[in-house]
Amino acid sequence: MNVSLLFQQYGNSLVYALGTALLATLVAVPTSYAMARWDSVWMKMLFWCCVVLLFLPFQVTMLPEYVLLEFLHLLDTRLAILIPGMVSPLPILILWMGNKQVPGEFEDAFCLESGSLLSYFRFVLLPNLSGVIAAAFAICFLLNWNLVDPALIFLEDKGLWPLSLTLLEQEGTARLYYGILDMVPVVLLLGVVMVVMRKRSMK
Amino acid sequence: MRGKSGKLTFRQQMKLMALPGILGVIFLYILPGCALFYYAAINNVFQKRFVGLGNLLDILGNSYFLLALKNTVLLLVAALLMVLLLGLLLVLPDAFFGWRMTGVAVVLLVPLFMPSVLSVELLRLVGGGLPPRWQLLTLFVWRNTGVVLLFLSVGLAKVEKDMLEAARLDGANRWQLFVYMQFPMLTLYIGVGAVFLVMQFFGIFREAYLLFGTSFPPDEVYLLQHYMHNHFLRLNYPYLAAAAILFTAFLAGTIWGVRLLQSAMRHQRGKMLGQAVI
């Protein structure tokens, strides 16, 4: 068991999962707000694009992504996972649903006080959407923690592989130890989510 | 048009802030997606001779593509039905007796978030002797029932208790309550569950790869994802691109069809309500 490689790959898993979840949620917040509030043909087209993209298996988009990453010379780097993961349809659609629940009157009322959209986000929208944003972040993190397909295709250097791929190559007890290590952040995150949800329901 | 003070209006700021997401979708998915059309129209990556629809016709006549298509559709329908039925079965105690099934749901959620390798190992320990199709289906059902059960529990909790009490006073038994009152309210959540399951099924290549150890599994579980993956590894980009375009077109068509069906049903319901009011 190569311990330094193990730590590096554990770090890779964290970078990919946390990085993708953070970036995807960050990009999804204003995009979903525009999708929910801006009545235009383009937003409708974007919405349906996101819906179709949500269902597509990785194998359909793997060739276009490979061509793009090769063009940008990003293959076999960490960005090969982070860049495509940055614009993920799942958090956009989850946050779109959340935005639809927020009444439009909040915007009108806020317009009387200030003209800055960033203040609106900070004082009204994000506090209202905090649960949904947290859910989208958690779901993105958990889905990317188990990354196998893109990492297998886009990353050659074993030093860049996430833990989920190395598990494939282990046998017997090593596999068990790696597996337990792999589960630790997942269990922690689920525990935190359950505690927060219980606190909220007690309020 | 700028606001009175010369600063950007709300809507202009909104469009500006949404730009990264919109540009991201365009440059990461839509524009590179055009590469699919380029590769689908050439004969191979070395000669790059234009063949138009030739690749599409080739794969539609290919026995492996048709096998993959058959298996994908069959397993998708089977998996969907099995998980939804199991979810409904597990939510019955909640519907009938009001027993909260959160404990069961949490236990069933664990396999979804377990690393795929571990869940595959556990399945091999327990069900190693099953035929390949049943191994894959069992893995899928075991991993995904938890979330569907969660959706159904949430849907059931939203049914108003007063309505159920009123119906019970009128003499309805538990089964009638479920069939005529609770189940219709659950149809939306069954729909959400079905959407989630279809998403999960299309991502099943990872589990199939880990379960069978190869991207050339036994014939009965050879899926479209395997077909496309193998063509990628062999640099058969034209066939991969043609299959991908076909897949996307079929998916987009199905989503559009479901939309049309939904609006037709809503129109029908609106007409019926209109008649009832009169």
CATH class entry, domain A3-202:
mainly alpha
* Confidence (pLDDT) at B129: 82
Which whole number is the average pLDDT over A93-110? 88
**Closest CA in chain A for residue B195:** A55
The mean pLDDT of chain B is 85
Which whole number is the average pLDDT over A160-177? 75
Q: Is the C-alpha dihedral spanning B264, B268, B273, B274 positive or negative?
A: positive
pLDDT above 90 coverage of chain B, percent: 17
Judged against a pLDDT cut of 90, whether residue A108 lies above it is answered with no
Residue B187 within any structural domain of the chain: yes
Q: What is the pLDDT of residues B40-65, one digit of tens each?
A: 888 887 888 888 888 888 888 889 89
Judged against a pLDDT cut of 70, whether residue A171 lies above it is answered with no
- Closest CB to B21: pick one of A31, A60, A149: A31
Q: How far is A196 from chain B (nearest CA, A)?
A: 15
CB contact under 8 A, B14 and A57: no
Q: How far is B264 from chain A (nearest CA, A)?
A: 19
Residue B275 within any structural domain of the chain: no
Residue positions counted in chain B: 278
**Closest CA in chain A for residue B35:** A64
- Closest CB to B10: pick one of A115, A145, A194: A115
Burial of B138 (0-12, 13-18, 19+ CB in 10 A): middle
Judged against a pLDDT cut of 60, whether residue B1 lies above it is answered with no
Residue B53 within any structural domain of the chain: no
Give the residue extent of every domain in chain A.
3-202
Residue B102 within any structural domain of the chain: yes
- pLDDT band for B76, please (50, 70, 90 cuts): very high
Q: Is the C-alpha dihedral spanning B204, B206, B208, B214 positive or negative?
A: positive
How many structural domains are present in chain B?
A: 1
Residue B152 within any structural domain of the chain: yes
- pLDDT band for A157, please (50, 70, 90 cuts): confident
B206 CB near a chain A CB, below 8 Å?
Answer: yes
Find the domain containing B102 and state its range: 65-224
B5 CB near a chain A CB, below 8 Å?
Answer: yes
**Closest CA in chain A for residue B256:** A48
Judged against a pLDDT cut of 60, whether residue A141 lies above it is answered with yes
User: How many alpha carbons fall within 13 Å on the CB side of residue B120?
Assistant: 20
Structure tokens at B188: 């939306």
- Closest CB to B241: pick one of A63, A115, A149: A63
Question: Of A157, A11, A114, A142, which Cα lies nearest the Cα of B109?
Answer: A142
Which position has the higher pLDDT, B44 or B142?
B142
CATH of the domain at B128: 1.10.3720.10
Which whole number is the average pLDDT over B270-275? 72
- pTM value? 0.84
* Confidence (pLDDT) at A93: 92
CB B120 within 8 A of CB B210: yes
Judged against a pLDDT cut of 80, whether residue B128 lies above it is answered with no
- pLDDT band for B278, please (50, 70, 90 cuts): very low
Question: Of B60, B42, B39, B211, which Cα lies nearest the Cα of B124?
Answer: B211
